[in-house]
Amino acid sequence: MEDIAVTGMGVVSPLGSDVQSLWNALVSGSSGIKHIDALEGLPVSIGGPAKGFDPTKHLSKKDIRHMDRFSQFAVFAGLDAVAGSGLKEGTYPEERIGVIIGSGAGGAFTFEEQVSIFHEKGPRRVSPLTVPMHIINIASGLLAMRLGARGPGMGVSSACATGGHAMAVAARLIQAGDADCMVAGGVEAILTPFAISAFAAMKALSTRNDEPEKASRPFDINRDGFVMAEGGAVLVLENMQRARQRGANILAVIKGIGMSQDAYHMVAPHPEGRGAVIAMKRAIEDAGISPEQVDYINAHGTSTSLNDSIETRAIKEVFGEHAYRLKVSSSKSMTGHLIGGAAGLETVICILALRNGLVPPTINLETPDPDCDLDYVPNVAERLDMKYCMNNSFGFGGQNTSIVLGRNDS
Protein backbone atom coordinates (compact mmCIF):
# COMPACT_ATOMS: atom_id res chain seq x y z
CA MET A 1 0.00 0.00 0.00
CA GLU A 2 1.00 3.63 -0.35
CA ASP A 3 2.37 4.80 2.98
CA ILE A 4 0.18 7.06 5.11
CA ALA A 5 1.81 9.65 7.36
CA VAL A 6 0.68 10.07 10.96
CA THR A 7 1.29 13.69 11.92
CA GLY A 8 -0.84 14.31 15.02
CA MET A 9 -2.22 12.41 18.03
CA GLY A 10 -4.69 13.29 20.77
CA VAL A 11 -5.78 11.04 23.62
CA VAL A 12 -8.20 10.64 26.50
CA SER A 13 -7.35 7.71 28.75
CA PRO A 14 -7.34 6.31 32.30
CA LEU A 15 -3.59 7.00 32.37
CA GLY A 16 -3.80 10.61 31.25
CA SER A 17 -5.41 12.82 28.65
CA ASP A 18 -2.30 14.07 26.95
CA VAL A 19 0.24 11.98 25.07
CA GLN A 20 3.18 12.53 27.43
CA SER A 21 1.23 11.68 30.59
CA LEU A 22 -0.06 8.53 28.92
CA TRP A 23 3.42 7.44 27.92
CA ASN A 24 4.98 8.17 31.31
CA ALA A 25 2.33 6.04 33.04
CA LEU A 26 2.67 3.20 30.54
CA VAL A 27 6.41 2.78 30.83
CA SER A 28 6.26 2.96 34.62
CA GLY A 29 3.72 0.11 34.66
CA SER A 30 0.96 2.16 36.28
CA SER A 31 -2.68 1.09 36.43
CA GLY A 32 -5.60 3.37 35.67
CA ILE A 33 -8.20 1.00 37.12
CA LYS A 34 -10.13 2.22 40.16
CA HIS A 35 -13.22 1.72 42.28
CA ILE A 36 -16.05 3.86 40.90
CA ASP A 37 -18.59 5.17 43.39
CA ALA A 38 -21.37 5.37 40.79
CA LEU A 39 -21.10 1.61 40.30
CA GLU A 40 -21.30 0.74 44.00
CA GLY A 41 -23.67 -2.16 44.64
CA LEU A 42 -23.37 -3.62 41.13
CA PRO A 43 -21.69 -6.97 40.46
CA VAL A 44 -18.76 -4.97 39.04
CA SER A 45 -17.79 -1.68 40.67
CA ILE A 46 -14.41 -1.03 39.03
CA GLY A 47 -13.33 0.59 35.79
CA GLY A 48 -10.90 2.90 34.07
CA PRO A 49 -12.23 6.49 34.23
CA ALA A 50 -10.61 9.15 32.08
CA LYS A 51 -7.78 10.88 33.93
CA GLY A 52 -6.96 14.54 33.42
CA PHE A 53 -9.88 15.09 31.06
CA ASP A 54 -11.11 18.70 31.18
CA PRO A 55 -13.69 19.39 28.47
CA THR A 56 -13.51 23.14 29.16
CA LYS A 57 -10.11 23.14 27.45
CA HIS A 58 -11.93 23.16 24.11
CA LEU A 59 -15.63 23.53 24.94
CA SER A 60 -17.92 26.09 26.52
CA LYS A 61 -20.31 25.10 29.30
CA LYS A 62 -23.19 25.30 26.81
CA ASP A 63 -21.33 23.01 24.39
CA ILE A 64 -20.76 20.51 27.19
CA ARG A 65 -24.46 20.45 28.10
CA HIS A 66 -25.37 19.71 24.49
CA MET A 67 -22.80 16.95 23.92
CA ASP A 68 -22.66 13.43 25.29
CA ARG A 69 -19.43 12.48 27.03
CA PHE A 70 -18.23 10.36 24.08
CA SER A 71 -18.52 13.36 21.74
CA GLN A 72 -16.64 15.51 24.23
CA PHE A 73 -13.83 12.95 24.13
CA ALA A 74 -13.78 13.06 20.32
CA VAL A 75 -13.60 16.84 20.08
CA PHE A 76 -11.00 17.08 22.88
CA ALA A 77 -8.69 14.44 21.37
CA GLY A 78 -9.34 15.58 17.81
CA LEU A 79 -8.46 19.21 18.43
CA ASP A 80 -5.33 18.19 20.36
CA ALA A 81 -4.30 15.94 17.44
CA VAL A 82 -4.81 18.69 14.86
CA ALA A 83 -2.92 21.22 16.99
CA GLY A 84 -0.03 18.78 17.31
CA SER A 85 0.03 18.10 13.58
CA GLY A 86 0.79 21.70 12.71
CA LEU A 87 -2.15 21.93 10.33
CA LYS A 88 -3.21 25.52 9.75
CA GLU A 89 -6.20 27.04 8.05
CA GLY A 90 -5.50 26.75 4.33
CA THR A 91 -2.96 23.91 4.61
CA TYR A 92 -5.43 21.84 2.60
CA PRO A 93 -8.67 22.85 0.87
CA GLU A 94 -11.56 22.24 3.27
CA GLU A 95 -13.07 19.64 0.93
CA ARG A 96 -9.79 17.64 1.04
CA ILE A 97 -9.94 17.11 4.83
CA GLY A 98 -12.24 14.41 6.22
CA VAL A 99 -13.23 13.13 9.65
CA ILE A 100 -14.04 9.57 10.72
CA ILE A 101 -14.68 8.94 14.40
CA GLY A 102 -16.06 5.64 15.63
CA SER A 103 -17.73 4.42 18.81
CA GLY A 104 -19.12 1.10 19.90
CA ALA A 105 -22.17 2.46 21.73
CA GLY A 106 -22.37 6.20 21.08
CA GLY A 107 -24.10 8.39 23.65
CA ALA A 108 -24.72 5.89 26.42
CA PHE A 109 -24.94 8.52 29.16
CA THR A 110 -27.60 10.41 27.21
CA PHE A 111 -29.53 7.26 26.35
CA GLU A 112 -29.67 5.98 29.92
CA GLU A 113 -30.60 9.37 31.32
CA GLN A 114 -33.40 9.97 28.83
CA VAL A 115 -34.88 6.48 29.09
CA SER A 116 -35.05 7.00 32.86
CA ILE A 117 -36.79 10.36 32.33
CA PHE A 118 -39.23 8.73 29.90
CA HIS A 119 -40.25 6.11 32.48
CA GLU A 120 -40.32 8.45 35.47
CA LYS A 121 -41.76 11.65 33.98
CA GLY A 122 -43.34 10.67 30.68
CA PRO A 123 -42.62 11.21 26.97
CA ARG A 124 -43.08 14.98 27.00
CA ARG A 125 -40.06 15.38 29.27
CA VAL A 126 -37.66 13.58 26.92
CA SER A 127 -35.03 16.02 25.63
CA PRO A 128 -35.27 17.08 21.98
CA LEU A 129 -31.47 16.73 21.90
CA THR A 130 -31.62 13.01 22.73
CA VAL A 131 -31.17 11.78 19.17
CA PRO A 132 -28.37 14.14 18.08
CA MET A 133 -26.54 13.56 21.36
CA HIS A 134 -26.84 9.78 21.15
CA ILE A 135 -26.16 8.81 17.52
CA ILE A 136 -22.69 7.43 16.82
CA ASN A 137 -21.88 9.65 13.83
CA ILE A 138 -22.44 12.86 15.78
CA ALA A 139 -18.89 12.73 17.17
CA SER A 140 -17.38 12.98 13.69
CA GLY A 141 -19.91 15.63 12.73
CA LEU A 142 -19.16 17.82 15.73
CA LEU A 143 -15.41 17.55 15.21
CA ALA A 144 -15.79 18.36 11.50
CA MET A 145 -17.77 21.48 12.43
CA ARG A 146 -14.93 22.63 14.68
CA LEU A 147 -12.37 22.03 11.94
CA GLY A 148 -14.38 23.25 8.98
CA ALA A 149 -13.62 19.91 7.33
CA ARG A 150 -15.88 19.24 4.34
CA GLY A 151 -14.25 16.12 2.97
CA PRO A 152 -15.40 12.51 3.58
CA GLY A 153 -17.03 12.04 6.99
CA MET A 154 -18.82 9.31 8.89
CA GLY A 155 -19.10 7.35 12.11
CA VAL A 156 -18.10 3.69 12.18
CA SER A 157 -18.91 0.98 14.71
CA SER A 158 -17.43 -2.48 15.06
CA ALA A 159 -17.26 -2.92 18.84
CA CYS A 160 -13.65 -3.32 20.00
CA ALA A 161 -12.24 -2.99 16.45
CA THR A 162 -13.97 0.37 15.85
CA GLY A 163 -10.92 2.63 16.02
CA GLY A 164 -9.00 0.28 13.75
CA HIS A 165 -11.71 0.41 11.13
CA ALA A 166 -11.91 4.21 11.40
CA MET A 167 -8.20 4.51 10.66
CA ALA A 168 -8.31 1.84 7.96
CA VAL A 169 -11.15 3.51 6.08
CA ALA A 170 -9.49 6.90 6.48
CA ALA A 171 -6.20 5.59 5.09
CA ARG A 172 -7.95 3.95 2.14
CA LEU A 173 -9.77 7.20 1.32
CA ILE A 174 -6.45 9.02 1.18
CA GLN A 175 -4.97 6.29 -1.01
CA ALA A 176 -7.99 6.45 -3.31
CA GLY A 177 -7.50 10.18 -3.76
CA ASP A 178 -10.72 11.21 -2.02
CA ALA A 179 -8.87 13.22 0.61
CA ASP A 180 -5.40 14.54 1.38
CA CYS A 181 -5.88 14.51 5.15
CA MET A 182 -8.17 12.52 7.46
CA VAL A 183 -8.75 13.00 11.17
CA ALA A 184 -9.65 9.55 12.46
CA GLY A 185 -10.02 7.47 15.60
CA GLY A 186 -12.41 6.01 18.13
CA VAL A 187 -13.90 6.99 21.48
CA GLU A 188 -16.11 5.39 24.12
CA ALA A 189 -17.90 6.52 27.28
CA ILE A 190 -19.89 3.64 28.77
CA LEU A 191 -18.87 3.55 32.40
CA THR A 192 -22.57 3.69 33.26
CA PRO A 193 -24.55 1.45 35.62
CA PHE A 194 -26.65 -0.08 32.84
CA ALA A 195 -23.73 -0.74 30.49
CA ILE A 196 -21.64 -2.28 33.26
CA SER A 197 -24.59 -4.42 34.34
CA ALA A 198 -25.12 -5.62 30.77
CA PHE A 199 -21.48 -6.62 30.29
CA ALA A 200 -21.41 -8.21 33.75
CA ALA A 201 -24.47 -10.28 32.85
CA MET A 202 -22.42 -11.76 29.99
CA LYS A 203 -19.71 -12.78 32.48
CA ALA A 204 -17.31 -10.72 30.37
CA LEU A 205 -15.97 -8.47 33.15
CA SER A 206 -13.53 -9.10 35.95
CA THR A 207 -15.18 -9.19 39.38
CA ARG A 208 -11.94 -8.49 41.23
CA ASN A 209 -13.62 -5.52 42.91
CA ASP A 210 -11.36 -5.58 45.97
CA GLU A 211 -8.17 -5.30 43.91
CA PRO A 212 -8.93 -2.88 41.04
CA GLU A 213 -5.33 -2.36 39.96
CA LYS A 214 -4.80 -6.12 39.65
CA ALA A 215 -8.07 -6.90 37.87
CA SER A 216 -6.84 -6.60 34.28
CA ARG A 217 -4.28 -9.37 33.87
CA PRO A 218 -3.91 -10.49 30.25
CA PHE A 219 -2.28 -13.88 29.62
CA ASP A 220 -2.28 -14.72 33.35
CA ILE A 221 -3.84 -18.04 34.38
CA ASN A 222 -5.95 -16.22 37.01
CA ARG A 223 -7.54 -13.71 34.65
CA ASP A 224 -11.31 -13.53 35.02
CA GLY A 225 -12.48 -10.99 32.44
CA PHE A 226 -11.74 -7.55 31.10
CA VAL A 227 -12.10 -4.21 32.86
CA MET A 228 -14.25 -1.53 31.22
CA ALA A 229 -12.61 1.83 30.62
CA GLU A 230 -13.40 5.08 28.84
CA GLY A 231 -11.60 7.42 26.49
CA GLY A 232 -10.00 6.96 23.10
CA ALA A 233 -7.71 8.61 20.60
CA VAL A 234 -7.79 10.59 17.39
CA LEU A 235 -4.97 10.71 14.84
CA VAL A 236 -4.20 12.98 11.90
CA LEU A 237 -3.42 10.95 8.77
CA GLU A 238 -2.02 12.53 5.61
CA ASN A 239 -0.92 11.69 2.11
CA MET A 240 2.80 11.05 2.57
CA GLN A 241 4.00 13.21 -0.31
CA ARG A 242 1.89 16.18 0.75
CA ALA A 243 2.90 15.81 4.40
CA ARG A 244 6.55 15.96 3.38
CA GLN A 245 5.94 18.90 1.08
CA ARG A 246 4.48 20.95 3.90
CA GLY A 247 7.33 20.03 6.22
CA ALA A 248 5.16 18.09 8.67
CA ASN A 249 6.69 16.27 11.62
CA ILE A 250 5.87 12.69 10.62
CA LEU A 251 5.44 10.70 13.82
CA ALA A 252 5.09 7.28 12.17
CA VAL A 253 3.87 5.63 9.00
CA ILE A 254 0.88 3.36 8.48
CA LYS A 255 2.47 0.66 6.33
CA GLY A 256 -0.21 -2.01 6.13
CA ILE A 257 -3.83 -2.71 7.01
CA GLY A 258 -5.63 -6.03 7.42
CA MET A 259 -9.36 -6.49 7.98
CA SER A 260 -11.38 -9.68 8.34
CA GLN A 261 -14.38 -11.37 9.92
CA ASP A 262 -14.59 -14.59 11.91
CA ALA A 263 -18.10 -15.42 10.65
CA TYR A 264 -18.36 -17.67 13.69
CA HIS A 265 -20.11 -16.39 16.85
CA MET A 266 -21.76 -13.29 18.32
CA VAL A 267 -19.13 -12.72 21.01
CA ALA A 268 -16.61 -15.60 21.03
CA PRO A 269 -13.56 -15.56 18.74
CA HIS A 270 -13.10 -18.42 16.31
CA PRO A 271 -11.42 -21.22 18.30
CA GLU A 272 -8.60 -21.42 15.75
CA GLY A 273 -8.31 -17.65 15.47
CA ARG A 274 -9.06 -17.74 11.76
CA GLY A 275 -10.22 -14.15 11.47
CA ALA A 276 -7.27 -12.88 13.50
CA VAL A 277 -4.88 -14.84 11.31
CA ILE A 278 -6.38 -13.39 8.13
CA ALA A 279 -6.20 -9.82 9.46
CA MET A 280 -2.56 -10.13 10.56
CA LYS A 281 -1.46 -11.79 7.32
CA ARG A 282 -3.22 -9.17 5.21
CA ALA A 283 -1.62 -6.33 7.16
CA ILE A 284 1.86 -7.81 6.70
CA GLU A 285 1.28 -8.42 2.99
CA ASP A 286 -0.13 -4.93 2.56
CA ALA A 287 2.96 -3.48 4.24
CA GLY A 288 5.21 -5.36 1.81
CA ILE A 289 7.33 -6.84 4.58
CA SER A 290 7.99 -10.32 5.92
CA PRO A 291 6.58 -11.57 9.24
CA GLU A 292 10.14 -11.68 10.59
CA GLN A 293 10.44 -7.91 10.21
CA VAL A 294 7.72 -7.22 12.80
CA ASP A 295 9.39 -6.48 16.13
CA TYR A 296 6.47 -5.85 18.48
CA ILE A 297 2.74 -6.54 18.70
CA ASN A 298 0.39 -4.57 20.89
CA ALA A 299 -2.02 -7.44 21.38
CA HIS A 300 -5.77 -7.18 21.69
CA GLY A 301 -5.02 -8.92 25.00
CA THR A 302 -8.30 -8.38 26.81
CA SER A 303 -7.70 -10.51 29.93
CA THR A 304 -10.49 -12.90 28.99
CA SER A 305 -10.04 -16.64 28.95
CA LEU A 306 -10.85 -17.10 25.26
CA ASN A 307 -9.22 -14.05 23.68
CA ASP A 308 -5.76 -14.36 25.21
CA SER A 309 -5.19 -18.02 24.40
CA ILE A 310 -6.73 -17.79 20.91
CA GLU A 311 -4.83 -14.63 20.02
CA THR A 312 -1.63 -16.36 21.13
CA ARG A 313 -2.46 -19.30 18.88
CA ALA A 314 -3.14 -16.97 15.95
CA ILE A 315 0.14 -15.11 16.44
CA LYS A 316 2.03 -18.39 16.39
CA GLU A 317 0.30 -19.45 13.19
CA VAL A 318 1.15 -16.19 11.43
CA PHE A 319 4.71 -15.78 12.69
CA GLY A 320 5.90 -19.35 13.19
CA GLU A 321 9.15 -19.57 15.13
CA HIS A 322 9.49 -15.79 15.00
CA ALA A 323 6.51 -15.60 17.37
CA TYR A 324 8.85 -16.61 20.18
CA ARG A 325 11.30 -13.83 19.30
CA LEU A 326 8.63 -11.14 19.09
CA LYS A 327 7.79 -8.83 21.95
CA VAL A 328 4.05 -8.95 22.63
CA SER A 329 2.31 -6.91 25.30
CA SER A 330 -1.17 -5.81 26.28
CA SER A 331 -1.52 -2.19 27.35
CA LYS A 332 -5.07 -3.10 28.47
CA SER A 333 -3.41 -4.47 31.59
CA MET A 334 -2.92 -0.80 32.54
CA THR A 335 -5.67 1.10 30.72
CA GLY A 336 -8.47 -1.46 30.84
CA HIS A 337 -10.57 -1.98 27.72
CA LEU A 338 -11.84 1.17 26.01
CA ILE A 339 -14.09 -0.82 23.59
CA GLY A 340 -14.57 1.52 20.60
CA GLY A 341 -11.75 3.72 21.88
CA ALA A 342 -9.25 0.89 22.31
CA ALA A 343 -7.75 0.55 18.81
CA GLY A 344 -7.09 4.25 18.40
CA LEU A 345 -5.42 4.54 21.79
CA GLU A 346 -3.34 1.42 21.21
CA THR A 347 -2.21 2.73 17.81
CA VAL A 348 -0.92 5.82 19.61
CA ILE A 349 0.82 3.51 22.09
CA CYS A 350 2.47 1.61 19.22
CA ILE A 351 3.72 4.86 17.72
CA LEU A 352 5.15 5.97 21.05
CA ALA A 353 6.85 2.59 21.46
CA LEU A 354 8.40 2.89 17.99
CA ARG A 355 9.63 6.42 18.59
CA ASN A 356 11.03 5.73 22.04
CA GLY A 357 12.43 2.24 21.46
CA LEU A 358 10.62 0.97 24.52
CA VAL A 359 7.94 -1.72 24.85
CA PRO A 360 5.25 -1.07 27.47
CA PRO A 361 4.80 -4.02 29.80
CA THR A 362 1.93 -6.37 30.50
CA ILE A 363 1.40 -5.75 34.20
CA ASN A 364 -0.19 -8.26 36.61
CA LEU A 365 1.31 -11.15 34.65
CA GLU A 366 2.28 -13.23 37.67
CA THR A 367 1.39 -16.83 36.71
CA PRO A 368 1.42 -17.27 32.92
CA ASP A 369 -1.25 -19.44 31.36
CA PRO A 370 0.52 -22.47 29.80
CA ASP A 371 -1.47 -21.80 26.61
CA CYS A 372 0.00 -18.27 26.53
CA ASP A 373 3.70 -18.96 26.11
CA LEU A 374 5.08 -15.95 24.21
CA ASP A 375 7.20 -13.07 25.50
CA TYR A 376 4.54 -10.71 26.87
CA VAL A 377 7.06 -8.31 28.47
CA PRO A 378 5.82 -9.06 31.99
CA ASN A 379 5.53 -6.20 34.48
CA VAL A 380 8.53 -4.10 33.40
CA ALA A 381 9.04 -2.13 30.17
CA GLU A 382 11.85 -3.33 27.90
CA ARG A 383 14.18 -1.51 25.54
CA LEU A 384 13.85 -2.58 21.91
CA ASP A 385 15.11 -0.94 18.74
CA MET A 386 12.08 -1.63 16.58
CA LYS A 387 11.36 -0.77 12.97
CA TYR A 388 7.86 -2.22 12.60
CA CYS A 389 5.10 -3.00 15.04
CA MET A 390 1.53 -4.27 14.79
CA ASN A 391 -1.67 -3.32 16.58
CA ASN A 392 -4.36 -6.00 16.85
CA SER A 393 -8.03 -5.21 17.55
CA PHE A 394 -10.79 -7.82 17.54
CA GLY A 395 -14.45 -7.01 18.16
CA PHE A 396 -17.66 -8.74 19.20
CA GLY A 397 -19.34 -10.04 16.08
CA GLY A 398 -15.98 -11.35 14.89
CA GLN A 399 -14.76 -8.19 13.16
CA ASN A 400 -11.00 -7.73 13.18
CA THR A 401 -8.30 -5.23 12.26
CA SER A 402 -4.54 -5.38 12.28
CA ILE A 403 -2.40 -2.37 11.45
CA VAL A 404 1.34 -2.41 10.74
CA LEU A 405 3.17 0.78 11.67
CA GLY A 406 6.70 1.78 10.86
CA ARG A 407 9.16 4.50 11.72
CA ASN A 408 9.34 7.41 9.31
CA ASP A 409 12.69 6.05 8.08
CA SER A 410 11.24 2.56 7.43
Is residue 275 domain-shared with residue 162, that is, in the same domain? Answer: no
- Say if CB 298 and CB 350 are below 8 A apart: yes
Number of other residues whose CB lies within 10 A of the CB of residue 93: 11
Looking at 225, 245, 265, the residue that finishes a domain is 245
End of a domain among 201, 216, 245?
A: 245
pLDDT at 410: 63
* Domain of residue 334, residue span: 257-406
Question: Residue 154: which CATH number?
Answer: 3.40.47.10
Distance CA 353, CA 82 (A): 21
* Same domain, yes or no: 239 and 281: no
Sheet strands (E) in 175-245: 181-188, 231-239
Tell me: do 102 and 194 sit in the same domain: yes
* pTM of the predicted structure, to 2 decimals: 0.98
Question: Residue 342: what are its φ and ψ, rounded to 5°?
Answer: -65, -50
How remote is the C-alpha of 111 from its chain's centroid?
23
pLDDT digits (tens, 9 = 90+) for 357-371: 999 999 999 999 999
pLDDT at 193: 96
pLDDT attached to residue 409: 83
Q: What is the pLDDT of residues 193-220, one digit of tens each?
A: 999 999 999 999 999 999 999 999 999 9
Same domain, 213 and 304: no
Q: Is 71 domain-assigned?
A: yes
* Residue 341 to residue 384: CA distance in whole angstroms: 26
- Residues annotated catalytic, as ranges: 160, 300, 337
Q: Is residue 252 part of a domain?
A: no
- Residues in the chain with pLDDT < 50? none
Residue type, 124: R
How far from chain centre, in Å, is Cα 324? 25
Looking at the structure of the chain, the number of domains it has is 2
